A and B are shown apart, each in its own frame.
Chain A
Amino acid sequence: MFADFLFRRLSLLLFMLFALTAFTFALNYLFPGDLLTNFSGELNANFSQTQILEQKYHIDDNLLIQYQAFLVRLFEGDWGLSLSSGQAVFGHVKQLFPATIELCVYALIMALCLGIPAGVIASAYHNKWPDKVISSLTLLGFSIPVFWLALLLIMIFCLSLGWFPMSGRIGLLYEIPPVTNFILLDIWLHDFPYGGQAFADALHHLTLPTVVLAMYPTTVLVRFTRDSMLTVLEQNYIKTARAKGLNRRQLILDHALRNALLPVIKQIGLQFSTLITLAMVTEVIFSWPGIGRWMIESIYQRDYPAIQGGLLAVSFFVIFANMLADVIHTLLDPLARNQAHGKV
């Protein structure tokens, strides 16, 4: 049964990847400028270089063969050169993407730690003051545009109070060799003479971007958890449990929470695409050296190979994250499997 589901998901995944790569491939033709330059990122190639490139990219063959060659290069990690830096796009992506994922992961963890408990509390005190406070804060957080919040926090906490730095992942004097590209992990892995201070400094740098990025998913999670809890709390088995004399704590933690969290898990996966989009804005404002800032920079500079590479990497990631969340959700919730089949 589950294998059947997995097969359906995987075929959908394959189709999505096909559509995505086909679109990216088409971009080479749609972008203005020389086709070979768009493919390779090689500016001012001389005659012999052009000939080699033409062969490599099968320019004289039909589109299908070109597309096939494109896929092969994609899997070999040959994503062309960036027009502005002259270095391999894939190298940039490998180096920058982890920083973005890192930021998203921390923000998501923060959103989980804050959002779910807050949602539970709001539902437990339904229509009492904690619920009202949490709901209005959520509405506020939901309505604030992320760039505005970021600028507001920078103005208050960086420029006026001077509590936090406003850019980067860590003080530039700390030289942390990238291993996993998760800054906290790297500091821990690397036996750094100022390890403790570097760790504190990295946390210091992380705080504001994480808070800003976590704002949106937190509010979404609060609302989902609250609504889902309220629905569950209405169920008969909860009423039975209550009639048996269980107290509120037991009711919520032992009986309601597990069931209420199922739809929330699905929501977490769906949040990833929004999160990546918001991360781009956050990265630009906080000069976070991630893929979002790089892509926006590339768009400004009309760096077509870089735009393609960034687009591919981000879309791959979002698709995989969504799939993964879907699969996990289905693993945890047998009912969903039936729904996925369209059966009752």
Chain B
Amino acid sequence: MLPITAFIALLLSGCSDNKAQAQRKIQGIVYCAEANPVSFNPQVTTTGSTIDIIANQLYNTLISIDPLTAEFRPELATGWEISEDGKQITFTLRKDVTFHNTDYFTPTRTMTADDVVFSFNRLFDVYNPFHFVGDANYPYFQSVGMDQLIRQIVKVDDYTVRFELFSSESSFLSNIATDFAVILSQEYAMQLVAQERKQDFDMLPVGTGPYKYKGFLRDNLIRYHKHPDYWKHDLAMDQLVYDITTNNTSRIAKMLTKECDITAHPSATQLETLAARKDIRVDKAVNLNVGYWAFNTEKPPFDNVLVRKALAHSIDFQKIMKAVFYGNGIQARSILPPSSWAFQTQAMPSYDPERAREFLAQAGYPDGFEMDLWAMPVSRIYNPNARKMAELIQSDLREIGIRATIVEYEWNTFLERVGRHEHDSVLLGWAADTPDPDNFFSPLLSCTATFSGKNPANWCNPEFDLLLTQALDTSDLQQRKQFYQQAQQMLIAELPVVPIAHGMRFQASNTSVMGIELRPFGGISLANARKN
């Protein structure tokens, strides 16, 4: 028995370590992330979890967007000038910006126009040695059509770069300010070419951000060290470590045991437990996103607007907000979230089974019909539980005589099949990458999106497309607003999609951590984060 008591005493004495830990000099922030990054270069992915981890910590962009005023801010470019016709944009670059000095690369020069030209050329220029490295797939820039827009990128002098466009487009600057438009080191790229290790380019990153890459152990951790010569400030901690914890509950538990300083995406049901603790702060951020129900408008009976109206009137939005969002979301009043500058409240279809039945009868389906309802298998900000939402809608539809079958596939298969328009109707959503309203319309509902398999409503309306083009062609904000408001009205009148809700983005952090920037669009920035 004695040894057991002795051992317990020993264990208990271990607890006095708590004090030592509080005083420890080792500095750093531990962030519990929900997934492994798929790459270390934001150019080649749009995966939200990956962007959160890599974009703002390792890299800088030419310009950024102020999350409050939505104005452009200088970053690596100190200024920019747009020519009269809007086809030439000239950036003046910041001097003395140093790239990361890592185990695998020692920079000999600071950032110049060559790096900027190289970074963007990789995306568009088939002669760039890195264009075909990886899958030659640059999802964000390809989906917004930037490759069709840029004629060439010219180095004017060492610190001036000019983008020449085929036509002027008002969302160009917003796209240059996304997390995907990072500046990479040309010198590093050339070194890899010389060493014949081109494939390492996206996995061993070199950027200009506040932290530099140190190591990545799959399913385990990612370690960043401080970039000592960061051009902006000296706030960075010695280390930034990402603890990869895919299990939702484990992540919250680690937050409670203080193994994490910051935790990504706690689920709505866990918020109460977290909020009850004094040492944990729960941040809610309005995020530019929308969860919607899209109908395959090319398939009968969904090609009939009366049927779409009947379906829209049949669902009880209040119930969905309560059961799926737990009160942590806003009911949609348009496809645009209220924080967007082009937002205008629309007369949304209300819950009214009587009217729904009337519309059905008018459309020639007094006895209803059978349909598929696809529910996405993963939780997203704009729809934390699509399965549950689908079940609620299913029971609402039964009220008006429509028999809906819920269909689920593995996430990638799901997206692929939706892209091939195999569905009747689908619950999906969209989170914006820029505050520009076009980001909600063009990638989701334009005709080009239909061809590239992105338009889940399979809806191609030339009138609507014209509105979008007109909005992009002008840089007069008032005029753009008008075009977008017309577009929103048209969507509610035609209902290719029923906007359901805008979700909130949540994050839990230890109260000793300050300066976390949770952006309403794009990823999270820990560039200014520090721990007291």
Q: Mark A321-337, 1 if CB is under 8 A from B, else 0.
A: 00000000000000000
Closest beta carbon of chain B to A264's beta carbon, Å: 16
Interface membership of B25, Cβ < 8 A: yes
- Point out the residues of chain B lying under 8 angstroms from A114, CB to CB: 3-4, 7
- Point out the residues of chain A lying under 8 angstroms from B17, CB to CB: 200-201, 203-204
- Point out the residues of chain B lying under 8 angstroms from A68, CB to CB: none
Interface membership of A85, Cβ < 8 A: yes
Report Cα–Cα, A154/B257, bound state, in Å: 10
- Point out the residues of chain A lying under 8 angstroms from B245, CB to CB: 167, 287
Closest beta carbon of chain B to A123's beta carbon, Å: 14
Closest beta carbon of chain B to A137's beta carbon, Å: 8
B257 x A194 contact (CB < 8 A)? no
Interface membership of A133, Cβ < 8 A: yes
Report Cα–Cα, A294/B217, bound state, in Å: 12
Interface membership of A130, Cβ < 8 A: yes
B30 x A173 contact (CB < 8 A)? yes
B4 x A167 contact (CB < 8 A)? no
Q: A85-B218, A134-B1 are in contact. Are A163 and B259 (CB under 8 A)?
A: no
B28 x A118 contact (CB < 8 A)? no
Report Cα–Cα, A108/B512, bound state, in Å: 40
A194 x B25 contact (CB < 8 A)? yes
Q: Which residue of B lies closest to A294 (CB)?
A: B219
Q: Which among B21, B220, B258 is the interface contact of A289 at CB below 8 angstroms?
A: B220
Q: Which residue of A lies closest to B247 (CB)?
A: A287
- Point out the residues of chain B lying under 8 angstroms from A3, CB to CB: none
| Contacts of B213-229 to chain A: CB distance below 8 A | 214, 217-221, 223
Closest beta carbon of chain B to A217's beta carbon, Å: 15
Interface membership of A166, Cβ < 8 A: yes
Report Cα–Cα, A16/B241, bound state, in Å: 44
Q: Which among B18, B26, B220 is the interface contact of A173 at CB below 8 angstroms?
A: B26
Interface membership of B136, Cβ < 8 A: no
Interface membership of B300, Cβ < 8 A: no
The stretch of B66-74, B248-256, B336-344 in contact with A is: B248-256
Report Cα–Cα, A138/B331, bound state, in Å: 58
Q: Which residue of B lies closest to A158 (CB)?
A: B257
Q: Mark B1-39, 1 if CB is under 8 A from A, else 0.
A: 111100100010011011011001111101000000000
Interface membership of A197, Cβ < 8 A: yes
Interface membership of A243, Cβ < 8 A: no
Interface membership of B243, Cβ < 8 A: yes
Q: A118-B4, A162-B258, A166-B254 are in contact. Are A201 and B21 (CB under 8 A)?
A: yes
Report Cα–Cα, A333/B253, bound state, in Å: 50
Interface membership of B186, Cβ < 8 A: no
Report Cα–Cα, A163/B14, bound state, in Å: 9
- Point out the residues of chain B lying under 8 angstroms from A287, CB to CB: 245, 250
B28 x A113 contact (CB < 8 A)? no
Closest beta carbon of chain A to B374's beta carbon, Å: 25
- Point out the residues of chain A lying under 8 angstroms from B24, CB to CB: 194, 197
- Point out the residues of chain A lying under 8 angstroms from B14, CB to CB: 163-164, 200, 203-204, 207
Interface membership of B239, Cβ < 8 A: yes
Report Cα–Cα, A118/B3, bound state, in Å: 8
B7 x A172 contact (CB < 8 A)? no
A175 x B239 contact (CB < 8 A)? yes
Report Cα–Cα, A216/B254, bound state, in Å: 27
Q: A175-B223, A197-B21, A287-B250 are in contact. Are A166 and B259 (CB under 8 A)?
A: yes
Report Cα–Cα, A7/B219, bound state, in Å: 44
Interface membership of A144, Cβ < 8 A: no
**Apart from A113-B3, A204-B14, what 16 extra A-B contacts exist at CB < 8 Å?**
A113-B7, A114-B3, A158-B257, A162-B256, A167-B243, A167-B245, A171-B21, A172-B223, A172-B259, A173-B241, A174-B26, A175-B214, A197-B21, A197-B26, A203-B17, A289-B220
Please give the residue numbers on chain B whose beta carbons come within 8 Å of chain A beta carbons, in ascending order: 1-4, 7, 11, 14-15, 17-18, 20-21, 24-28, 30, 214, 217-221, 223, 239, 241, 243, 245, 250, 253-254, 256-259
Please give the residue numbers on chain A whose beta carbons come within 8 Å of chain B beta carbons, in ascending order: 84-85, 87, 113-114, 117-118, 121, 130, 133-134, 154, 158-159, 162-168, 171-175, 194, 197, 200-201, 203-204, 207, 211, 287, 289, 294, 297
Would you give 7 A-B contacts (Cβ < 8 Å), ordered by A?
A113-B7, A133-B1, A162-B256, A172-B221, A173-B239, A194-B26, A204-B14
